[in-house]
Structure 1
Amino acid sequence: MLGVEGVSVSFPGHTVLHDVGFTVQAGQFCGLIGSNGSGKTTLLRTILGFQKPEAGRIRVNGARGAASIGYVPQKILLDPYLPLRARDLVSLGLDGGRLGLPFPSRKRWTAVDAMLEAVEAGPFADQRIGDLSGGQQQRVLIAHALIRRPSLLLLDEPLANLDVRSVAGIVALLHRLCIEQGIAVLLSAHDMNPLLPVMDRIVYLANGHAASGSTQEVVRSEVLGGLYGYHIDVIRVHGRVLVVAAGSPEDSGPLHAHDPVHVARVP
């Protein structure tokens, strides 16, 4: 469904991605994991066609370039006083890019209602979007991205700033939709732990490079050490993963214990 082949992206004085490659098949849930500045958003923008790579290519659904892609961006500022209901926002996903007002029809609203029910947002479909909680807004944004039935869904940090219960609910929802609709899901996050029960594959970004495969194949000391450029310990405890980096202060820039990707430096 998605093929990223040898993609490199640079900005003036800085290489963000270097020879990144991985695949995601239909019906697979893939986590794109990395700390701030690792290139997650740049990679998603490249897949969408917003950023042109210096090298490599992107194939979506077997074709070159972006085909049927749904996208939930990292930050959407919703005015709490905007007179827009949840169902109105989802309906914009059908033809929000077209000029003129959409023609209201029963078929249109049936499709909107069906998608709202699919993401368990039916009970607040008629509420003002600005009055919804963070978790409820994410469900509406996912419905907006899926209303045109894409084959690939990209989500940029959809779990950021959500409470633990909302995170669990969104992850379970996306996993269910991935299975039921057979779509490929690529979700970027700092913290891999909420995704561990549902991830089929992981793409781990660090220092512009990527390692991809199953969690067992990628989240290992030797693999992550190769990405970071110094020794990495991977500690598994109580069903969670802690990545601990042992290195000197001059190694590769600062890493902090509070970073949600769980990379901590020890002396």
Structure 2
Amino acid sequence: MTDLSSTSVAVSLPSSLHSLIEVENAAVVLGGRTIWQNVQLTVQQGEFLAILGPNGAGKSTLLKALLGLLPLAAGTITVLGHPARRGNAAIGYVPQRRHFEADVHVRGRSIVRLGLDGGQWGFPLPFIQRRQARMAAARVQEAIDLVGATAYADRSIGELSGGEQQRLLIAQALITSPQILVLDEPLDSLDLRNQQGVAGVIRQVSRETGAAVLIVAHDINPLLAAVDRVVYVAHGQVEVGTPQAVITTETLSRLYNTPIEVLRARDGCIVVVGQPEEEISYHAHRAR
């Protein structure tokens, strides 16, 4: 795997920032198939990374490995200096989008409160249970304020739009004040306006809290104002660098082992043509 972030277009991070995640020569094998291998990745405090690639390439698998939900076939992953493990309270996790139907009559605030009980991980966190109810309520409100959801937090979650529901799920992940925020396709199935709104919330959270962000996405467009680097997963390989360095004809052709053409429009949009799935994916980059 090649890390392209040292090229002339790389983002320079202040030396005062420290590594939160270290991935060394990692590989995952599922059902006898190597999903990806030789992955090298360092994530710094406050960094914003978008994980891109075709369906089935292993983007979500990478997140699960970081969360300690999947074993490695080779290499190591450390989070805050310790091996990746399930239920790490330093990580806020937003799984692939859950849609709440209209007949779900649970207040949005109650959905956020589940984050204090370990609802996103599937089991309770004892040290959270010992906190006083008043302190818990304050934490819930703080998270709701952070994502700009105060106006509708007391409405039934099923009445809310997809974008509003997603903001509350992000608030749930922020309850424990995580140092790392991991989101699996949070923009999926949202219209363009809500994609931009949710992406803006994630960017604001990262800036205000200093949390590192890793977000799986199919389209980098809504994330451009925030993203520092991309992690592009394809055909068992992983490429890391800035969008300018990774989303190029040369790099993607090598990743896919087939000719790929990357076109750049005057407004900075990048059109990637010729993926093996015969899809056309639209990425964009605008000078920051």
Unaligned runs of 5+ in 1: 247-252, 263-267
Paired residues of 2:262 and 2:273 also in contact (CA < 8 A): yes
Paired residues of 1:191 and 1:260 also in contact (CA < 8 A): yes
Q: 1:201 aligns with which of 229, 246, 249?
A: 229
Quick one: distance in 1 between partners of 2:221 and 2:115?
Answer: 31
Counterpart code for 1:110: A
Quick one: distance in 2 between partners of 1:178 and 1:114?
Answer: 15
Q: CA deviation at 1:230?
A: 2.0
- Identify the residue that residue 141 of structure 1 maps to in structure 2: 169
- Identify the residue that residue 63 of structure 1 maps to in structure 2: 82
Distance of aligned partners of 1:95 and 1:174 in 2 relative to their CA distance in 1, 3 Å threshold: same
Paired residues of 2:97 and 2:188 also in contact (CA < 8 A): no
Counterpart code for 2:96: Q
Paired residues of 1:34 and 1:261 also in contact (CA < 8 A): no
Distance of aligned partners of 1:122 and 1:242 in 2 relative to their CA distance in 1, 3 Å threshold: same
Counterpart code for 2:115: G
Q: 1:114 aligns with which of 139, 142, 149?
A: 142
Paired residues of 1:26 and 1:182 also in contact (CA < 8 A): yes
Q: CA deviation at 1:98?
A: 2.4
Q: CA deviation at 1:104?
A: 6.5
Quick one: distance in 2 between partners of 1:28 and 1:80?
Answer: 36
The alignment partner of 2:50 has SS state of: strand
Alignment of 1:234-253 (within 5 A): 234-237=262-265, 238-245=267-274, 253=276
- Identify the residue that residue 98 of structure 1 maps to in structure 2: 124
- TM-score (norm. length: structure 1): 0.89
Q: CA deviation at 1:197?
A: 2.2
1:40 partnered with 2:59: yes
- Bigger mean CA offset, 59-68 vs 203-212: 59-68
1:53 partnered with 2:72: yes
The alignment partner of 1:243 has SS state of: strand
Distance of aligned partners of 1:233 and 1:106 in 2 relative to their CA distance in 1, 3 Å threshold: same
Quick one: distance in 1 between partners of 2:125 and 2:173?
Answer: 19
RMSD: 2.2
Quick one: distance in 2 between partners of 1:225 and 1:11?
Answer: 25
Paired residues of 1:135 and 1:167 also in contact (CA < 8 A): yes
Alignment of 1:4-83 (within 5 A): 4-66=23-85, 67=88, 68-83=90-105
Identical-pair percentage: 41
Counterpart code for 1:98: P
Quick one: distance in 2 between partners of 1:196 and 1:146?
Answer: 22
Moved over 4 A (4+): 259-262
Quick one: distance in 1 between partners of 2:142 and 2:97?
Answer: 26
The alignment partner of 1:126 has SS state of: coil
Paired residues of 2:116 and 2:125 also in contact (CA < 8 A): no
Residue by residue over 1:186-229, the C-alpha shift from the partner in whole angstroms, topping out at 9 and shown as x without a partner, is 00011122222211111011101110011122122221111111
Aligned pair count reads 255
Q: CA deviation at 1:231?
A: 2.3
Q: CA deviation at 1:14?
A: 2.3
